[in-house]
Amino acid sequence: MLIKIYSAAPVGIDAVPVTIEVHAVPGFDFTLVGLPDNAVKESHERIVAALTVNSFEATRKCFTINMAPADIKKEGSAFDLPLAIGMLAGSEQVQKKELEHYMIMGELSLDGSLHPIHGALPIALCARKEGYRGIILPAANAEEAAVAEGLDVYGMETLMDVVHFLNGEPKDELTKEPFMPTRVDTQALFETLAFPSDLDFADVRGQFKVRRAMEVAAAGGHNMIMVGPPGAGKSMIAKRLPSILPPLTLEEALETTKIHSVAGLLAKRKDAHSALIVQRPFRSPHHTITDVALVGGGSNPHPGEISLAHNGVLFLDELPEYKRSALEVMRQPLEDRHITVARTKETVDYPASFMLVAAMNPCPCGHYGENNPAHPCTCTPAQVHRYLSKISGPLLDRIDIQCEIEAVPYEQLRDTKPGESSAVMRERVLKARAIQTERFKHSKLVHCNAMMNSKMVRQYCALNSECDQLLQFTMTKLGLSARAYDRILKVARTIADLEGVQDIRKQHLLEAISYRSLDRSTWAG
């Protein structure tokens, strides 16, 4: 007897179909093939225990189980449930007629209850794409999977519930209550959960130059670094960046949710927003983070912080304290906006289109260049150079906006009048983004100025003769790279968009050049 159960295996942030073929003949044996990892191989012990506890006959047959396609590695405990159902169907304890209509996933406990799995949303999207009627999975994942509209999602509490459902039996024998699929109106959920950030730029005192730079960064999606003494407000300002960014589109929300689903982070969220991520991510890893945790990978590849920040912000505070190797591996994702993790038996691609916002002190003590007798810099030139050399030139080259920040004067700290609110700043950002949306409407990969390639820079960032001479002088004087040239033009284009003008003018270019402060600073050389 040959039984087929349908499931899926996450690959990157997507899922591919997996067919579990169960061949059952009289005997007492169990063989599992199809490139399963140790967690899948151990499923036999969990399944036998769960079947025994629930009074199923588990060992009446000799089972040979193949997980196809065999060239895709099957990982994790999410295959417990389909394997158990395959064994029950092979021993004629579950009817076979409904199996072809559903994709089945779930982790079994020894008593037969179902634990949540990772990647429920990508698996549900895969089931919908492959034309299945529905998906059966743990109840804890039902709302997440139901975001994939057009699919019947049945969240089950126990193995017995799944057996009753497939056998056409009611959920409760006494009330005859039927099993009902979980329904989610994804668009309505997206609109309901979307809300402004509770952090506001109105709380920031002074720092008008940095606020302006942050607005430019948000308007064009540019990377940014802030350099200044401790307590100047670098972290406070960075945390308020999401409050002025454009809201996620539904497509971006689904893509972001898929990444967090594969990483197993949705199940850990205890709020009402666990089914769908509607706010732009803000990730702030500690400086002790490893290379793999930052960019992704590992023996069993998983998304790193740069992918978890996809469509959002990655904030690296105290940038020189990060391992240089960890920072250097970000160089390619910053350019390509995705990361490819290659292993011997597989290659996985994770999206990584994020805004990098970094903060650092100008020296180890933090007071270099600060005109404050109460806090004189105690660092030697060699210490300053060694501290700054932790940040490589090629990495700085990829940061569009480099802004020096000063300590806030006492008069501004005592000012009780709130600063300009995030709502006002966001309105200007949205107008600039609307111009860019129209500009790049024929491109699927470019959505803001920071994403422009060299061809687009030449097309949309043309300079008049006066601006061209100014930029030529700047490039020669500072010895800037070709990459810095492109990034100055991109920032100038964004500043012009904020003013709502078509051509880049001299004042736009001068402001963009002013944001290359690390290129100009004598202590950075």
Identify the bridge partners of residue 19 per DSSP, sorted by sequence position.
Answer: 6, 68
Q: Is residue 422 part of a domain?
A: yes
CA–CA distance, 345 with 390 (Å, rounded to integer)? 34
| Residues 164 and 207 grouped into a single domain | no
| Domain-embedded: residue 497 | yes
Helices (H), ranges, 358-515: 381-388, 393-397, 410-414, 422-439, 454-460, 465-478, 482-499, 506-514
413 — pLDDT class (breaks 50, 70, 90)? confident
Domain boundary among 158, 184, 210: 184
More confident residue, 463 or 480: 463
The reply to whether 447 falls in a domain is: yes
Which of 184, 200, 219 is the C-terminal boundary of a domain? 184
- pLDDT confidence band for 523 (50 / 70 / 90): very low
Q: Last residue of a domain, which of 132, 152, 184? A: 184
Do 212 and 336 share a domain, yes or no?
yes
Q: Which of 177-191, 316-330, 452-466 has the lowest mean pLDDT?
A: 177-191
295 within domain boundaries: yes
Residues 46 and 87 in one domain: yes
**Whole-number Å distance between alpha carbons of 158 and 69:** 28
Whether 329 and 412 share a structural domain: yes
In a domain, 297, yes or no: yes
> Quick one: DSSP state of residue 141?
G
- Both 174 and 205 in a single domain? no
283 and 305 in contact (C-beta within 8 Å)? yes
pLDDT digits (tens, 9 = 90+) for 198-218: 888 988 888 889 999 999 999
327 contacts 273 by C-beta, under 8 angstroms: no
State whether residue 191 is helix, strand or coil. helix
Q: What is the three-class DSSP state of 450?
A: helix
**């111009």: which residue's tokens?**
435
Residues 210 and 149 reside in one and the same domain: no
For residue 224, pLDDT over 50 is answered with yes
Structure tokens at 265: 């982070």
pLDDT value, residue 109 = 95
Block residue for tokens 């063989």: 31
| Mean pLDDT across 437-447 | 91
SS3 (DSSP) at 509: helix
**Confidence label for 334 from pLDDT (cuts 50, 70 and 90):** very high
Q: List 356's β-bridge partners, or say none.
A: 314
Same domain, residue pair 327 and 431? yes
Return mean pLDDT, the chain.
89
Q: Which residue has the higher pLDDT, 457 or 341?
A: 457
Cβ–Cβ under 8 Å, residues 13 and 303: yes
Q: Are 123 and 10 in contact (CB under 8 A)?
A: yes
Instruction: Identify the weakest region by mean pLDDT among 22-36, 114-128, 497-511.
Output: 22-36
- For the stretch 161-208, pLDDT in tens is 999 999 999 887 777 788 999 988 888 878 777 666 788 898 888 888
**49-58, 125-134, 305-314, 411-420 — which is least confidently predicted?**
411-420
The CA distance from 85 to 167, in Å, is 11
Instruction: Name which of 24-28, 105-109, 239-243, 372-376 the model is least confident about.
Output: 372-376
- Alpha-carbon distance 256 to 384, whole Å? 39
Find, among 451, 205, 231, 516, the residue nearest to 359 by Cα. 231
**Contact criterion met (CB below 8 Å) for 261 and 120:** yes
Domain containing residue 505: 192-245+280-524
Cβ atoms of 148 and 14 closer than 8 Å: no
Per-residue pLDDT at 301:
85
The answer on pLDDT for 507 being more than 80 is: yes
Total number of domains in the chain: 2
Could you report the per-residue pLDDT of 139-158, keeping only the tens digit for each?
A: 999 999 999 988 999 999 99
In this prediction the pTM is 0.89
Domain CATH code at residue 152: 3.30.230.10
- Euclidean distance between CA atoms 373 and 376, whole angstroms: 6
Q: Confirm whether 252 is domain-assigned.
A: no
The CATH number covering residue 333 comes to: 3.40.50.300
pLDDT given at position 525: 44
Is the pLDDT confidence value at 272 over 70? no
Question: Between 410 and 429, whose confidence is greater?
Answer: 429
Please report whether residue 267 resides in a domain.
no
Please state whether the peptide bond connecting residue 247 to the residue before it is cis, i.e. omega within 30 degrees of 0.
no
Q: Does 460 lie in the same domain as 316?
A: yes
Contacts for 522 with CB less than 8 Å, ≥ 6 apart: none
Q: Which pLDDT does position 312 carry in this prediction?
A: 95
Least confident of 91-95, 130-134, 291-295, 372-376: 372-376
Lowest mean pLDDT among 109-113, 212-216, 343-347: 343-347
pLDDT of residue 270: 52
Q: Is residue 274 scored above 60 in pLDDT?
A: yes
pLDDT of residue 83: 95
pLDDT for the residue 271: 53
Q: Tell whether 134 and 224 lie within a shared domain.
A: no
In this structure, is residue 254 part of a structural domain? no
pLDDT tens across 15-60, in order? 999 999 999 888 778 899 998 989 899 999 999 999 999 988 866 7
pLDDT surpassing 60 at residue 348: yes
Would the pLDDT of 273 be above 70?
no
Q: Is the pLDDT of residue 500 over 70?
A: yes
User: Does the pLDDT value for residue 12 go beyond 90?
Assistant: no
Whether 155 and 232 share a structural domain: no
Mean pLDDT of the region 56-72: 86
- Same domain? For 515 and 371 the reply is yes
Do 358 and 429 fall within a single domain?
Answer: yes
